[in-house]
Amino acid sequence: MLVSVLNGLAIGSLLFILAVGLSIVFGMMDVLNLAHGALFLGGAYLGAAFAGSWGGFLAALALAAVGGLAAGVLLSLMTEPLRKRSHLDQALLTLGVAFVVAELLIIAFGDDPLSVAAPPALDGSVSLLGATYPTYRLVLIGVGAVLALVVYLVVERTRVGALVRATVADREMVAALGVDNRMVQATVFAVGSLLAATAGVLGGPIYGARPGLDATVLILALVVVVIGGLGSVRGALVGALIIGQVDTLGRLLLPDFASFILFAALALVLVLRPHGLFGSPASAGAR
């Protein structure tokens, strides 16, 4: 049981890193980025290509960060002309990008599942209150906690964060104050994509790298975003932790109904709090 709870935390950490970018981009820019999962998969394959040593792991992280930033700016430029159009148009565009990226990854890495080794010192396990648990996953929980804190402080306590939150709340008003929305959008998009690609590298030792993983994590991230509420860092964090636990415990206690439980949790939140746990009706109403 303890092992499952810990595992839920590890997966929750990973989901938070993945989902926070998606949440803010969607909440703030009103852009539904379905290519978010493809960014994660790209990171995972980078991890698979370089993993095995600390140097390789850190190189993969650095490459994923740079690649994620570039991809985010690119995606931001691509979706810019569609900002006045419906969500469906953006979804189609980013879905197309996701398909192209996934296909390119298959061409480059083949379509058999790859297993990714954790960095040498973390590849073992530690004893914890009588249970044995993989070291890497414990470290991942820590990394997730640190990142959550950093993102939270940046968004809630800095000028840039204030700008981002203001844009989430009322985009037109911020524009009227003389701030270039497109710059804010590109920055948020880039940072969100960076986090997604980095999450791919970090998640490699747990999820490996394989075709179809992009869709799996995208759905998990969307569930997290919907549960947590759009554009809310706190929401993404709580949503990710809840989904991590629900997914792990669900698969343990009721293996046959695991995927139902995930969406049952989603439905329950939607019935009780239609705007998510931390989403405000106002920001949803703007759409």
Partner 1 sequence: MAQDPSVSRRRFLGLLGAATALPVLSACGSSVGGGGGSPTGGGGTIKVGLVVPQSGVYAALGTDMQRGWDLWLADHGQKFGNYTVETVVADEGETPQTGVPAVQKVLQSDGVDVVVGLVNSATALGVRDVLSESKKLLIVTNAGAEDVTGKARTPYIWRSSFTNGQIAAAMGTHLAQSGFSEGVYAIAPDYAAGTEVITAFTKAFETGGGRVVGQAKTPFGTTSDYQPFLTGIQSSGARATFCFYSGAEAISFVKQYAQFGLSSTIPLYGSGFLTEGNVLPQQGDAAVGVQTTLHYTDQLDNPANNAFVQAYSAKYGESPSCFSVQTWDAANVLDRALTSATGVDGDALAAALGGIGTVDDSPRGPWTFDNQTPRQNIYLRRVDNSGGTLVNAVVEDLGPQSQPAA
Residues making contact with partner 1 (CB under 8 A): 3-4, 7, 11, 110-115, 117, 123-125, 127, 131-134, 206-208, 210, 212, 216, 248, 251-252, 255, 258
Nearer to partner 1, 73 or 219 (CB): 219
Nearer to partner 1, 141 or 186 (CB): 141
Provide, rounded to whole angstroms, the least separation between the CB of residue 7 and partner 1: 5
Provide, rounded to whole angstroms, the least separation between the CB of residue 145 and partner 1: 20
Nearer to partner 1, 11 or 155 (CB): 11
Provide, rounded to whole angstroms, the least separation between the CB of residue 116 and partner 1: 9
Nearer to partner 1, 145 or 252 (CB): 252
* DSSP-assigned beta bridge partners for residue 134: 125
The tokens 């590109």 sit on which residue?
186
Provide, rounded to whole angstroms, the least separation between the CB of residue 131 and partner 1: 7
Three-state secondary structure string covering the chain: CHHHHHHHHHHHHHHHHHHHHHHHHHHHHCCCCCCHHHHHHHHHHHHHHHCCCHHHHHHHHHHHHHHHHHHHHHHHHHHHHHCCCCHHHHHHHHHHHHHHHHHHHHHHHCCCCECCCCCHHHCCEEEECCEEEEHHHHHHHHHHHHHHHHHHHHHHHCHHHHHHHHHHHCHHHHHHCCCCHHHHHHHHHHHHHHHHHHHHHHHHHHHCECCCHHHHHHHHHHHHHHHHCCCCHHHHHHHHHHHHHHHHHHHHHCHHHHHHHHHHHHHHHHHHCCCCCCCCHHHHHCC
Measured CA to CA, the distance from residue 221 to residue 19 in angstroms comes to 5
Please name the residues in contact with 267: beta carbons below 8 A apart, sequence gap of 6 or more: none
Measured CA to CA, the distance from residue 38 to residue 265 in angstroms comes to 25
Provide, rounded to whole angstroms, the least separation between the CB of residue 112 and partner 1: 4
Provide, rounded to whole angstroms, the least separation between the CB of residue 210 and partner 1: 7
Nearer to partner 1, 257 or 274 (CB): 257
Nearer to partner 1, 70 or 106 (CB): 106
Provide, rounded to whole angstroms, the least separation between the CB of residue 265 and partner 1: 16
The tokens 């980025």 sit on which residue?
33
Provide, rounded to whole angstroms, the least separation between the CB of residue 172 and partner 1: 43
Nearer to partner 1, 96 or 212 (CB): 212
Nearer to partner 1, 103 or 111 (CB): 111
